[in-house]
Structure 1
């Protein structure tokens, strides 16, 4: 018998949001881990709002705000306005964030303003650190063998915004700001009006674009990201960021005699970088660059078994970059300014780690 095309709603419903989420849904374990990390940040959250305890409307709970930012990354939602629209009708999003069915959805501008507070108080970095601590608690990190690499992030600014710093309307060769073809431009003489922190940069065969550079340090056991940061884009940024990150990892190792190794590609095969690694008591498992030059990496290191393993493991770092640029939409930053781009990149790496932790839990259940 043909069913009738009718729509009838019940006046009341006894079902909870949790009833609508399948027991095997991947977000369940991710939410548990995220909440465990957020619970460790209670003191930080209290300090963020202690100056606003008297009067005024209550702000968005920072835990809900961070979960909303995570869901935006995990489901590739391109803007806060679109995120708020989807939260309005998406029960899965409401459940993950912690909003009841009858709770009002935030205005996009209010959401963005509260996000700025998280960035100001380094809450995103703290969340990333707590996620890394979860991985360490689960014994998923070696703590001694690492890989490092960098990737380009396109700034949210166009070529036409890249104008002379002195305010001149024309370049030296007569080209106007609107017609830059054939004109000579550099970061020394020009700056973006849209995003002053962005730098004109090219790498390899890529075209010159306004960019930032993202860097990660991964643990070789499972490819989990243990350090992440964004810097200005220039030819020395990768090695300088690598030295900072591996030094932090070296300091975190309690056993000073433990061998710390660092895998990297040929771009890190520079004498000053290799020497810096040795000074930090880090064995540089850097790919040897022998194209018309002598490698700075000793042959005794390159011929070791550990070196071969590091060269194999270091390729895992590309998975994090690929995930952040496709799922997390970090191919082009949707925020402006070094600090904001850095925070969004770090949050992407935290989200990537949560996804990896869920996958690893299925492989080796506790």
Structure 2
């Protein structure tokens, strides 16, 4: 028997509870049960005034909007807000009822520029979530996987100025120079001169000509193989076996992956003592990276052989 759905019911008034409409096994229920976002209030309390101004948007809501965007792969905050207006699970996760107005998409951008941009709030949130994962036993960091992704900047590749910029050279290059000069002196030869400046940690600083975007000066000109030459960023990420991110760092697109690797690896190895293997592609196969891995991993596995 053919049946037609009566759509009149959509105009009827019903007494319903928003929480009852969200399935118990929904992903956002699991996230909400696993992470207590209230710690954010303590982190941002100094960024708000206690006496002046209008009541703010709840900072936890602003962060949860970002969580929604990341969890569901939404490409913009405008679209995230648009989806939250009609998605019951999103409203429940944010703590908004049926009739409450979701914040305008520009609200997050304004708060980021005025309050969060110069703070380390997002780093603290990342560390807190990672700590929760460690406490629950989700992290298996015996093997760490490194890779870098290049993200195209929203900048015209033909609009740039040429500048001389300081270029960071791997610390190992200076250590190698010291060893070579010691060997030359032992054989009565004149040591090579080092005309480069050095950082406090011994890292060599060289100067080279670079193209700086007039639209996005923080990006860098990226070109690799047959890929289009463009201004871009590079994001280096370290993950463990269960795909939890243990460390991340962004840099201009003209910075070699191996240079960013050292900073991320040092940060990860200080937090996790059970690393036995590091997996990376051939882009990281440089003398500096190899020496650092051999020294660090060998020391972790056999402390008596510490350099």
Please give the range of the TM-score, normalised by the shorter of the 2 chains.
0.7 to 0.9
- State the distance in 1 between where 2:88 and 2:131 align: 30
| Aligned mate of 2:151, from 150, 153, 159 | 153
The ranges of structure 1 where at least 4 consecutive aligned residues each deviate by more than 6 angstroms after the TM superposition are none
User: What residue in structure 2 maps to residue 96 of structure 1?
Assistant: 93
* Matches of 2:9 and 2:45, distance apart in 1: 47
- Decide which moves more: 198-207 or 116-125: 116-125
Matches within 5 A, 1:8-157: 9-11=11-13, 13-33=14-34, 35-36=35-36, 38-49=37-48, 52-116=49-113, 117-157=115-155
Report the Cα distance in structure 1 between the residues aligned to 2:228 and 2:161, rounded to whole angstroms.
20
Q: CA deviation at 1:204?
A: 2.8
Q: How do residues 217-228 of structure 1 correspond to structure 2 at under 5 angstroms?
A: 217-219=238-240, 221-228=241-248
Q: Which runs of 5+ in 2 are unaligned?
A: 164-207, 300-307
What TM-score do you get using the length of structure 1 for normalisation? 0.62
Residues 16 and 270 from structure 1, CA distance in 2 versus in 1: closer, same or farther, beyond 3 angstroms? same
User: TM-score with structure 2 length normalisation?
Assistant: 0.72
**In the alignment, what sits opposite 1:232?**
252
Matched position secondary structure for 1:120: coil
1:318-354 C-alpha deviation (Å, 9 max, x unpaired): xxxxxxxxxxxxxxxxxxxxxxxxxxxxxxxxxxxxx
RMSD: 2.6
Q: 2:209 aligns to what SS in structure 1?
A: coil
Alignment partner, residue 213 of structure 1: 234
Structure number with greater CO (CA < 8 Å, separation at least 6) is 1
- In the alignment, is the contact (CA less than 8 A) between 1:149 and 1:216 conserved in 2? yes
Query: What per-residue deviation string (whole Å, max 9, x for no partner) do you get for residues 131-188 of structure 1?
Result: 211221121223443221111111122324x23358xxxxxxxxxxxxxxxxxxxx93
Change (3 A) 1:17 1:158: farther
Matched positions, count: 252
Name the CA shift for 1:43/1:3 in 2 (closer, same or farther; >3 Å): closer
Q: Deviations over 1:79-131 (max 9, x none)?
A: 33333333233222211222122222222222311133233322221111112
Which digits, 9 at most, give the CA deviation of each residue in 1:200-228, with x for residues without a partner? 11123312121100101112x32321111
Structure 1 range deviating more: 138-147 or 58-67: 138-147
CA distance in 2, matches of 1:90, 1:259: 42
| 1:309-328 to 2 correspondences below 5 Å | none
For the residue of structure 1 that corresponds to 2:216, the secondary structure is coil
CA deviation map 1:51-106 (0-9, x unaligned): x1112112221111111111123333333333333323322221122212222222
The offset of 1:44, in angstroms, is: 0.8
Cα offset, 1:24, TM superposition: 2.3
Please state how far the C-alpha of 1:196 moved relative to its aligned partner: 1.4
Larger radius of gyration: 2
Equivalents in 1 of 2:138, 2:229: separation in Å? 39
